[in-house]
Amino acid sequence: MQLKIALLGGDGIGPEVLAQSVKCLKAVEETFNHEFIFTKAPVGAVAISNTGQPLPQETLNLCKASDAILFGAIGALEYDQNPEAKVRPEQGLLKLRKELGLFANIRPVKVFPSLVENFLLPKKIIAGTDFVIYRELTGGIYFGKKTLSEDGTAASDLCEYSESEIARITHMAFKAAKKRKKKLTLVDKANVLETSRLWRKVVTEIAESYPEVALECLFIDNAVVQLILNPSKFDVILTDNMFGDILSDQGSVIIGSVGLLPSASVGTENAMFEPFHGSYPQAKGKNIANPVASIFSTVLMLQHFGLYEEANAVASAVQKSFVKGVITPDILGSSKYGTDYVGDFIAENIVDSDENMNINDENIGLGRSTII
């Protein structure tokens, strides 16, 4: 298969972790005879410094003309510390999502048995965790009208949703639940918000077309408690843009490191794959960032194009790095392995599954959790 892949490294550790994904995809290219055409383009704070724009038009054009986009990370300290900045790196990512119509953000959260001892939360809580968040990505409070009064003392952000915006991601989430553990949890705040009541109405109606899937509705404040107490009870979580942003970071605490979690943002025309994590500017250039979230994002990309054997080969190589302890310090404080080394190790271990007899349940499971 030939694929045109846009590489948007962005800010902070973004380019470093993305470079490891490219190594892995080059290994996939060679092992499985594909052709991946990579083109780099600027986005975020880096793009603002060079062009004044967080998403230059050429970057957007490249993304539109590509089969897939691999995204690194976005954000920089100078902007985080200056809420008054009118042009912000994050606007680049939000514009990209909107312009490309990437309305569904899919964030799988799965605990790996080989790492379960490494993390803060008790094993009895996190063992068996395997859920996926379907976060609406191009609507809601993120994109509603924003106002700031002239004297700067009052502000507002409008949260709006239409039935069709809710319905399209709801169908995707139900279809995923049908292939998984057949449970869907809608997270909202329907006791207070009108938009949440619309979500509940639309989702409940659509649920009738998926009788094999059990629908549960939780308020966001209760959901954060249930998720931390009982993460393994969840299967597919469906929610709006803002609640999805918050819940997915909570997912990273459950799994142990935000450096392990990938995501796919898809629409009808385009698809973008990116780690959950931010730009982690403090780690930039130190060769300590975990490349696994970015590499797992390529697994989601390969699955998106139906390249399941290839996706399994990458997931197996990551699994091998876990088992052999070739992991970065965010997982094991005493680890001497850096971003580059872990990336090389994973890329070198990407082999055709016919030749790899050591595939175990865990990595097969990842390959099977087809997301789309």
List active site positions. Answer: 142, 189, 221, 245, 249
CB of residue 246 to Mg ion, shortest distance in Å? 8
Nearer to Mg ion, 130 or 245 (CB): 245
Output Rg (C-alpha) for the chain, integer angstroms: 20
Say if residues 160 and 139 touch (Cβ distance below 8 Å): yes
Dist CA 56 CA 40 (whole Å):
13
CB of residue 90 to ligand IPM, shortest distance in Å? 4
Question: Greatest CA span in the chain, whole angstroms?
Answer: 68
Q: Identity (one letter) of the amino acid at 59?
A: T
Dist CA 366 CA 316 (whole Å):
9
Binders in 237-256 for Mg ion, by CB under 5 A: 245
Nearer to Mg ion, 199 or 276 (CB): 276
Q: Could you say which of Mg ion, ligand IPM, none residue 93 binds, taking C-beta under 5 to 8 angstroms by partner kind? A: ligand IPM
Say if residues 62 and 55 touch (Cβ distance below 8 Å): no
CA nearest to 20, candidates 72, 75, 76: 72
Q: Could you say which of ligand IPM, Mg ion, none residue 340 binds, taking C-beta under 5 to 8 angstroms by partner kind? A: none
CB of residue 245 to ligand IPM, shortest distance in Å? 4
Taking CB positions, which residue lies at the least distance from ligand IPM?
A: 90
Q: Could you say which of ligand IPM, Mg ion, none residue 90 binds, taking C-beta under 5 to 8 angstroms by partner kind? A: ligand IPM
Question: What is the Cβ-side half-sphere exposure of residue 323, based on CA atoms within 13 angstroms?
Answer: 13
Nearer to Mg ion, 256 or 278 (CB): 278
Q: Residue 316, SS3?
A: helix
Nearer to ligand IPM, 90 or 362 (CB): 90
Dist CA 342 CA 318 (whole Å):
9
Dist CA 250 CA 218 (whole Å):
16
Q: Identity (one letter) of the amino acid at 3?
A: L
CB of residue 93 to ligand IPM, shortest distance in Å? 5
Binding site for ligand IPM (CB under 6 A): 74-75, 90, 93-94, 245
Q: Could you say which of Mg ion, ligand IPM, none residue 74 binds, taking C-beta under 5 to 8 angstroms by partner kind? A: ligand IPM
Nearer to ligand IPM, 13 or 346 (CB): 13
Taking CB positions, which residue lies at the least distance from Mg ion?
A: 245
Q: Identity (one letter) of the amino acid at 182?
A: K
Q: Could you say which of ligand IPM, Mg ion, none residue 5 binds, taking C-beta under 5 to 8 angstroms by partner kind? A: none
Q: Could you say which of Mg ion, ligand IPM, none residue 17 binds, taking C-beta under 5 to 8 angstroms by partner kind? A: none
Dist CA 226 CA 330 (whole Å):
26
**Buried b / exposed e along 76-109 (16+ C-beta atoms within 10 A):** beebeeeeeeeebbbbbbbbbbbebebbbbbbbb
CB of residue 334 to Mg ion, shortest distance in Å? 29
Query: What is the 8-class DSSP label of residue 153?
Result: S
Backbone angles phi, psi at 183, to 5 degrees: -135, 135
| CB atoms near residue 171 (< 10 Å) | 14
CB of residue 244 to ligand IPM, shortest distance in Å? 8
Nearer to ligand IPM, 21 or 279 (CB): 279
Q: Which residues bind Mg ion (CB under 5 A)?
A: 245
